[in-house]
Chain A
Amino acid sequence: MSYIVDRRLNGKNKSTVNRQRFLRRYRKHIKKAVDEAVTKRSITDLNSGESISIPRKDISEPFFHHGKGGKREMIHPGNKEFVSGDRVQRPQGGSGGGGGDGDASDSGEGVDEFVFQISQDEFLDFLFEDLELPNLVKRQLQGIESFKFVRAGVVNEGNPAKINVVRSMRQATSRRIALTSSSRRRLRIFEQQLQALQEQDSILRDKRKEQELEEEIAKLRRRIKKIPFVDTIDLRYNLHLKQPKPTSKAVMFCLMDVSGSMNQAMKDMAKRFFILLYMFLKRNYEKIEVVFIRHHTSAKEVDEEEFFYSRETGGTIVSSALKMMRDIMQERYPADEWNIYGAQASDGDNWNDDSPTCREILIKDILPQVQYYSYIEINPRRHQALWREYETIEATVEHFAMQQISDPGDIYPVFRELFQRKETKRAS
């Protein structure tokens, strides 16, 4: 008779450990593939996993086997026109033997690349590996306003609403057992004696002793009864602790120059940068909002579509955007509730008089409130006034960073540089 077992509810991911071991072993390869992929990918496409290919040679497990050469006889099915004694040309490229050769794939000649898929999460893990959000901890502890209650075991004191009935009753029971055990033992002995006495013939009975025993028994019964069913020392209370809930909300400000000097290619580069930043923040915060501000001579808050695709002409006043960011921050994103990140992209053109204003707004109003502010200049040419003003900020403010990008391939390296772990970052 056969047993039939339903195993479908058993764990499905038995291979997870082995898979992780595999990913771990080929970490370097995968990382390289991910880095390459991200520069090649279209801008909106960071939401999927990636297929990784590793040269098959690198992951093959070697074993002794025959190489080419020597003499061998192979049997194949499906003869059509051969008769014995025929001679045929060696097939091109094959390892001999007229078609499929048993170990062709084993010797690594079949397929050159080992291709497999990693999930989006894994992709991003590899992508953002050894990057970190600057100043993440600081803000989490600062300005905490929300708390949550977590269970923290059982204690002896508390308010009646939190009595833990099961534990209290357990205590009471054990206390009663402990306090009455000697009395009950004696009670049992006396009862036995009494019974023995009563079973004797009525003439032989010792009436006095009988009475003594009865009194003794009654006394013990009273004593046992006196032990309270529940005592205050039995009571146990659930303990809840107030735990600070770190703010898990973040807002990201994207500021972009859309003046005539920014062409579509430059905007694309800016967009890639913004998207990388967005994905990165998303891995660190539960909820994230994005504010798009674009500017030429005046700034305007727009939606994503308009932000990236509509085009304007005219001059450039960067401070207009910074002012707008400041106002929106004050109005909608108080710094004690939100983690604020700013990213600004521009080609560096600005009215000359405006750059000192930008610096002032940044230092006075924006930088004290934000977690991190990054500026990228998309400009293959030399720097202008805005860059120089910003350079003075970078020198003094820890969480301000700036980089220059001149072609799409730079974006990811620059991004990595901006968010590299602290130890390595400010080395220079």
Chain B
Amino acid sequence: MTERTPISTGSDWTFELIQDYDREIGRIAEGFGLDIYPNQIEIIAAEQMLDAYSSVGMPVGYNHWSYGKHFVSNEQHYRRGQMGLAYEIVINSDPCIAYLMEENTMTMQALVIAHACYGHNSFFKGNYLFRTWTDATSIIDYLVFAKNYIMKCEERYGVDEVELILDSCHALMNYGVDRYKRPYPISAAEEKQRQREREEYLQKQVNELWKTIPQMGGKKGADLTRRFPEEPQENLLYFIEKNAPLLESWQREVVRIVRKIAQYFYPQRQTQVMNEGWATFWHYTLLNQLYDEGKVTDGFMMEFLQSHTSVVYQPSFDSRYYSGINPYALGFNMMQDIRRICEKPTKEDKIWFPEIAGSDWKETLTFAMQNFKDESFVQQFMSPKVIRDFKFFSILDDDKEKELHITNIHDDPGYRDIREALSKQYNLSMNEPNIQVYNVNIRGDRSLTMRHVRHNRRPLDTESAEEVLKHLHRLWKFDVVLESVQDNTVMDTIKCGANGIEKKSPEKDSEEELSLIQRV
């Protein structure tokens, strides 16, 4: 046992102490080889945390009622004591900004520093998705640009006008990302400069597409068979920004802003388990190291462990606290498990993970952190031991059968299937309905047709789909059609035109009858 020379003994923090802890934790992190952006630690009050919460954690953001809604409901829960505030918020930027709450004890501050400033921070810097999809150096600038731009639009065109466009864009936000292409990094200075040029250029392009003057010598017959776009488009907002016939240029810019921000958050949505798991693993490892070196007291460790345990708690499926798999718990256990496989592999591990059993754990973990997202991470690294520890089982819910079917449990025949199914569960493109722009009738009524391709016969939720179509119609301004396709046959059609929603499904319309559901 080493001699204890703790950095502090009380539970109150001071700026000097935070600096001391940060220095110590940083030193240990460096020893473990964590590569990080510089840190900017900001101390804020609880009210400010509520503010930050409501604006999805971003330090600046444009104004919109939905943020107000979040704020109101968070505030309500917080005041009633139903919700503790997150101890930290960390922003993927360079320098990496982390918020520490004033009310935290010294132990919690140290925990947050280890978790956010070294855990999340190194993840942001290392993971391939963040590296390709986000530009940490310019995000804050871009948000400032966006806020100012939207403010200017509100001054010019009125709050209500802007709100309508934003509402519609928000409804399509999940469909504003390129899933496979790499976007250009965004930078505020360039953005401002280019914005005006783009305005003109875009409008020209749109005019080109929609011009009605007949072309000399054009063959009409050839055009009819060609679809526009030739390939289905997955990025609906991008498609609208570039092709919507009647949007004004400022409206296109607003669409673009929402799209860019959606794109920025896309990697976070894909790496929740890994990101939280990585950060939790490191706060656990770093603070334990700090304890082993005698820099913190036993009381500190007790408080830390108490908090850590509740963070990684996984209620069972039948508990009333259950709300899905806790990403902190799964991520942390998998990270710990990888380290275990590297350091003390069992016979089973050697069969399942021959290439990493017995390897250097730091290298293996870093490799995993850098090159995977939740889906592939689970597929690649989930060991039978983790499945057993969590007592995972899979349920098949088929609406054609009366009962639910337990397909697999945590036993030898089940491991692979469970791992496969869990991996799919983290595949965003499987969880979100696959909807793409299919065709635009450019020579006729300018209607926009989208296709939803059903997977496992899962239908769309019609009520919300109708609402979203109304929003889409607001942006496109001509008829919008959504076809739900299964095995290449159209099952349902929802159409939103100037008269409202029309629905059509093959089972019911034996006499080709259109039911006019709703008039606007």
Q: Which residues of A contact B (CB under 8 A)?
A: 1-8, 10, 12-15, 17-25, 59, 61-80, 82-90, 96-100, 102, 107, 114-117
Most buried by A among B68, B79, B465: B68
Please tell me which stretch of B192-200, B276-284, B391-399 contacts chain A, meaning at least 4 of its Cβ atoms lie within 8 angstroms of it.
Answer: B391-399
Please tell me which stretch of B70-78, B240-248, B289-297, B354-362 contacts chain A, meaning at least 4 of its Cβ atoms lie within 8 angstroms of it.
Answer: B70-78
Would you call A15 and B456 a contact (CB within 8 A)?
Answer: no
Would you call B462 and A67 a contact (CB within 8 A)?
Answer: yes
Contacts of B460 in A (CB 8 A): 64-67
CB distance from A9 to the nearest CB of B (A): 9
- B residues 135-156 in Cβ contact with A at 8 Å: none
CB distance from A65 to the nearest CB of B (A): 5
B207 within 8 A of partner (CB): no
Between A and B, 8 residue pairs with Cβ closer than 8 Å are: A4-B18, A4-B41, A5-B41, A14-B51, A15-B51, A61-B170, A63-B173, A70-B459
Would you call B175 and A71 a contact (CB within 8 A)?
Answer: no
B403 within 8 A of partner (CB): yes
Please tell me which stretch of B59-67, B208-216, B509-517 contacts chain A, meaning at least 4 of its Cβ atoms lie within 8 angstroms of it.
Answer: B59-67
Q: Decide: A116 near B73, CB < 8 A? Known: A69-B399, A87-B403, A90-B404.
A: yes
Q: Decide: A64 near B432, CB < 8 A? Known: A7-B44, A18-B71, A107-B461.
A: yes
- B residues 303-331 in Cβ contact with A at 8 Å: 314-319, 322-325
Which of A7, A83, A97 makes the CB contact (< 8 A) with B48? A7
Would you call B43 and A83 a contact (CB within 8 A)?
Answer: no
Q: What is the CA–CA distance of A23 and B64 in the complex, to the nearest angstrom?
A: 11
Would you call B409 and A84 a contact (CB within 8 A)?
Answer: yes
Whose C-beta in chain B lies nearest to the C-beta of A74?
B395
Contacts of A12 in B (CB 8 A): 45, 47-48, 51
Could you tell me how many residues of chain B have their Cβ less than 8 Å away from some Cβ of chain A? 101
Would you call B39 and A21 a contact (CB within 8 A)?
Answer: no
Would you call A78 and B395 a contact (CB within 8 A)?
Answer: no
- B residues 97-117 in Cβ contact with A at 8 Å: 99, 102, 117
Q: Decide: A7 near B468, CB < 8 A? Known: A15-B71, A84-B407.
A: no
Contacts of B316 in A (CB 8 A): 77-78, 80
Would you call A69 and B43 a contact (CB within 8 A)?
Answer: no
Contacts of B102 in A (CB 8 A): 8
Would you call A64 and B317 a contact (CB within 8 A)?
Answer: no
Whose C-beta in chain A lies nearest to the C-beta of B22?
A2
Which of B76, B163, B414 makes the CB contact (< 8 A) with A115? B76
Would you call A70 and B456 a contact (CB within 8 A)?
Answer: yes
Q: Decide: A64 near B435, CB < 8 A? Known: A4-B19, A5-B40, A73-B395.
A: yes
B411 within 8 A of partner (CB): yes
Would you call A3 and B39 a contact (CB within 8 A)?
Answer: yes
B500 within 8 A of partner (CB): no
B454 within 8 A of partner (CB): yes
Would you call A2 and B40 a contact (CB within 8 A)?
Answer: yes
Would you call A71 and B406 a contact (CB within 8 A)?
Answer: no
Whose C-beta in chain A lies nearest to the C-beta of B402?
A90
Other A-B pairs, 12, CB within 8 Å; known A79-B409, A88-B395: A18-B54, A22-B69, A64-B175, A65-B460, A71-B456, A75-B392, A76-B395, A77-B392, A78-B322, A84-B407, A84-B411, A98-B317
Which of B44, B64, B393 makes the CB contact (< 8 A) with A21? B64
Contacts of B171 in A (CB 8 A): 61-63
Q: What is the CA–CA distance of A107 and B461 in the complex, to the nearest angstrom?
A: 8
Task: Annotate B444-485 by CB proximity to A: 1 below 8 A, 0 otherwise.
Answer: 000000001010111111101101100100000000000000
Would you call B464 and A75 a contact (CB within 8 A)?
Answer: no
Q: What is the CA–CA distance of A21 and B72 in the complex, to the nearest angstrom?
A: 11
Which of B172, B391, B397, B461 makes the CB contact (< 8 A) with A74? B397
CB distance from B266 to the nearest CB of A (A): 15
Contacts of A70 in B (CB 8 A): 398-399, 454, 456-459
Whose C-beta in chain A lies nearest to the C-beta of B434?
A64
Task: Annotate B173-215 by CB proximity to A: 1 below 8 A, 0 otherwise.
Answer: 1110000000000000000000000000000000000000000
CB distance from B179 to the nearest CB of A (A): 15
B38 within 8 A of partner (CB): yes
Would you call A20 and B68 a contact (CB within 8 A)?
Answer: yes
B217 within 8 A of partner (CB): no
CB distance from B115 to the nearest CB of A (A): 14
- B residues 1-35 in Cβ contact with A at 8 Å: 15, 18-19, 22, 26
Q: What is the CA–CA distance of A349 and B394 in the complex, to the nearest angstrom?
A: 78
Whose C-beta in chain B lies nearest to the C-beta of A115?
B76
Which of B159, B395, B468 makes the CB contact (< 8 A) with A98? B395
Q: What is the CA–CA distance of A115 and B76 in the complex, to the nearest angstrom?
A: 8
B256 within 8 A of partner (CB): no
The 5 closest A-B pairs by CB, nearest first: A78-B316, A22-B68, A70-B458, A62-B467, A18-B68
Contacts of A117 in B (CB 8 A): 75-76, 79
B81 within 8 A of partner (CB): no
Would you call A74 and B394 a contact (CB within 8 A)?
Answer: yes
